[in-house]
Structure formats: structure tokens, C-alpha cells
Amino acid sequence: MEAWVDISILGLMALTAIAIVMLRNLLAVVMLSGIYSLLAASIFVVMDAVDVAFTEAAVGAGISTMLFIGTLALTTRIEKKPAHTPVLPLIVVIITGAVLIFGTLDVAVYGDPLAPAMQDVAPYYLENTKKHAGIPNVVTAVLASYRGYDTLGEVVVIFTAGIGVILLLGSWRRGLPKIAPHKDDKA
Amino acid sequence: MKEYLVLRVITKLLLPFILLFGLYVQFHGDFGPGGGFQAGVIFAAGFVLYSLVYGVAAAQKVLPTGILRAGLAGGVLIYALVGVANLILGANYLEYTPLADTMKEGQHLGIFLVELGVGLTVASVMMTVYFTFATWRED
């Protein structure tokens, strides 16, 4: 049963991706990429990673779709016809896809407790979270306590991204004089 | 968007539940799935929905730029200061154990506080980025 759910969601994702490649109307592409994210969130729910699904649904399907639409409002809605034939990109994609599929042959079976990735620090976290922190959610304990430094770094990255957007597009720029174009810059 | 009555009513109905769910994911993150990052993006998505239907100006009345900027920096500051508090109490940076009487309570309090910082920064950054894109104009 679960396999069929997986197959149907992944099939819909593949169809969405093909539609995204074929379409020239960028607004429709943005809508479809939001649907793609929602399908990815469903896959995460099937894999019991509900917290990742929250993030994918809220950021991938919600906020980033809105940011894309905002960008389209500032630029243009119709993609230009490519000047070159799509044969070379197709070859590159086929080779990359083949290499990735070849790589999955060595990946451990999903959920295998004997996989090498499960043998290193995971047993320590699973055994000691209850003893050290007294909370049942091991993921939270790993993120906020055992690996608190990494999470601090992540928060600083998000902070930096916000500061970057404010500096590049923020309303404080409106009072600034226009930056003169470079002498080699045409139009 | 004055003419879309259904959208306006549904948004108004959904919004408290989205925000409440965001708070639940934030403060229940050590028992159920979730945590600061998830809570921050859910909270921000709620406000994005509101500003889509009711306009950016209405959303910015609730959350003015100044508050968002304070949250953006405040979250990182909370996280880093929890670490510094550990240093002052004689432990390692972000060790949490000396924050309360027992190790479990200390860990619990530390995790709660840093997750609060994460949620604050993530929600503020997401909303700041959205508002900045939505109000940007070339002049």
C-alpha cells in the first residue's frame, strides 16, 4: 500500500517537473513548482519526517512561491525562446541522471538500522537523550543541544540572508543617489 | 482585493489556527515533531497569506519594520547569549546543564530558549524578505 502511495506521488512529481520544463509562461511554472513542493512535503509525511514536511510545505509551497511571484512582477512573465538547440543540455542531463541512478545502487536500504550512517553517533543520541535532556524528541535534542553550535551557525546564516535582502532591496535605499553605470555597461 | 469575499472570510477564519499551530510547533517542539525553524516558517506563512489577501500595508500595521528588524537580530542574540550565560556560570558554551538545578531541567530550559531564538529569527527573516520583495519599487 505504502509503495503505491510513494509511486503515485513520485509519478505526479515527475509529471509536474516535465510540465515545468515544457511551459514558457513563468507564472504557470511558479504555480507548478509550488505544487511540486507540496508533493515533496507529502513524500516526507509518508517517510514519517513530519517536521521536514512542515518546512517544505511552508517554505517551498508557500513563501518561496510568493517570492517568485514577487520577482515576476518586477521582471517579466514570459520566458524567451532559447537561441540554441536543446540537444547538448539533454545529453548532460541524461549523463548526470545515469550517474545519480548508478550512485543509488550503493545507498543503504531505506530505514536499515545496520546502515553505516546509523552505526556512528545515532545509537548514542537515541540512548542518552532521555537521560540527558529528559525529552522524547531526539531530533530537537540533537539540533539544539548536542549539535547546538551547528544550529547557531544556521541561525546566523538565515540572519545574514535577511540582512543581505534588506541591504540590496530595502526601502532605506530610496534616498540614496543612483549608482552610475560602468563605462563599459551598455544600456 | 476588496471583491474576493470568499478568500477574505476564509483567510480570516484560517489565520488564528495557522498562528496557533505555529506557536504549538514552537513550544511543543521538544515533545512532538517541530522546533524553532518549522514554527518560524509556519508563522511567517500565516502572515504572508494575510498580506496577500488584505494587502502588505495591513500586515505591516501588525508587524512594523522596526519590530521585524528587532526580531531578526534578537533571535540570534538570544541564542548566543544563552551560550554566554553558560560561560558565566562556569560551563562550556551552549552546555545548558548549569542553567537549572538538575541536568535535565537545565537542558530543557536551554533547548527551550535557543529554539525560541531560532523561531524569532526565522519568522522575522522570512517576513522581512517577503515584505521587502512585495514593497520594492525602482525609483
pLDDT in tens, B67-84: 999 999 999 999 999 999
Identify whether the C-beta of residue A21 lies closer than 8 Å to the C-beta of residue A74. no
Q: How far is CA A98 from CA A95, A105, A187, in A?
A: 5, 11, 43
Cα torsion B12, B14, B18, B23: sign: positive
Q: How far apart are the first and last CA of chain B?
A: 25
Q: Number of structural domains, chain B?
A: 1
Among B117, B39, B109, residue whose Cα is nearest residue B78:
B117
**Residue B1 confidence (pLDDT) above 60:** no
Outline where B28-102 has alpha helix (H).
Answer: 36-54, 56-62, 65-88
Give the ranges where A61-134 is alpha helix by DSSP (H): 64-74, 87-104, 116-119, 122-132
For residue B111, give the 3-state DSSP assignment: helix
Output A139 or A9, whichever has higher pLDDT: A9
Residue A86: its pLDDT value, please? 83
Is B45 within 8 Å of A62 when comparing Cβ atoms? yes
pLDDT value of position A186: 56
Containing structural domain, residue B100? 5-135
- A182 pLDDT higher than 80: no
Global ipTM: 0.91
- Whether the per-residue pLDDT at B137 is higher than 80: the answer is no
Q: What pLDDT, in 10s, does the model give residues A9-66?
A: 999 999 999 999 889 899 999 999 999 999 999 999 998 889 999 999 999 999 999 9
The pTM of the whole model exceeds 0.80: yes
A161 and B38 in contact by Cβ < 8 A?
no
A182 exposed, middle or buried (CB, 10 Å; 0-12, 13-18, 19+)? exposed
Grid coordinates given for A20: 515545468
pLDDT exceeds 70 at position A181: no
pLDDT digits (tens, 9 = 90+) for B4-56: 899 999 999 999 999 999 999 999 888 888 888 999 999 999 999 999 899 88
| The pLDDT value given to residue B74 | 95
Q: Which of B33, B45, B129 is closest, CB to CB, to A50?
A: B33
Q: What is the pLDDT of residue B103?
A: 86
Residue A179: how many other CB atoms lie within 10 Å: 7
Cross-chain residue pair B38–A166, CB shorter than 8 Å: no
Amino acid in position B105: E
Does residue A187 surpass a pLDDT of 60? no
- The DSSP 8-state label assigned to residue A25 in this structure reads B
Residue B96 near residue A126, CB atoms below 8 Å: no
Per-residue confidence (pLDDT) for residue A19, from 0 to 100: 95
According to the per-residue pLDDT averaged within each range, which of A139-148, A158-167, B90-99, B130-139 is highest? A158-167
Q: In sequence order, what are the beta bridge partners of A25?
A: A78
Cα separation, B134 vs B37, in Å, equals 23
Q: Phi/psi at A156 (nearest 5 deg)? A: -65, -35
Q: Does A134 touch chain B (CB under 8 A)?
A: yes
Are A25 and A77 in contact by the 8 Å Cβ rule? The answer is yes
Pairwise CB contact (< 8 Å): A151 & B45: no
A185 pLDDT band (50/70/90 cuts)?
low
Interface mutation vs chain A, best among B25, B47, B135, B136, most A CBs within 10 Å? B136
The dihedral through the CA atoms of A127, A130, A133, A139 has a sign that is positive
Contact assignment for A155 to B132 by CB distance below 8 Å:
no
- A128 touching B (Cβ < 8 Å): no
Bridge partners (DSSP) of residue A78 are: A25
User: A108: which DSSP letter?
Assistant: P
Give the pLDDT score at A177: 65
B122/A50 touch (CB, cutoff 8 Å), yes or no? no
Which amino acid is residue B80, in one-letter code? A
Which three three-digit cell numbers place residue A116?
Answer: 553505516
Mean pLDDT across the stretch A65-80? 86
What residues of B are in contact with residue A51 (Cβ under 8 Å)? 33-35, 38
What is the structure's pLDDT at A76?
A: 83
Q: What is the 3-state secondary structure (H, E, C) of B85-110?
A: HHHHCCCCCCCCHHHCCCHHHHHHHH
Q: Which domains does chain A have, with CATH numbers?
A: 1-80 (1.20.120.1200), 112-171 (no CATH)
Q: Is the pLDDT of residue A6 over 80?
A: yes
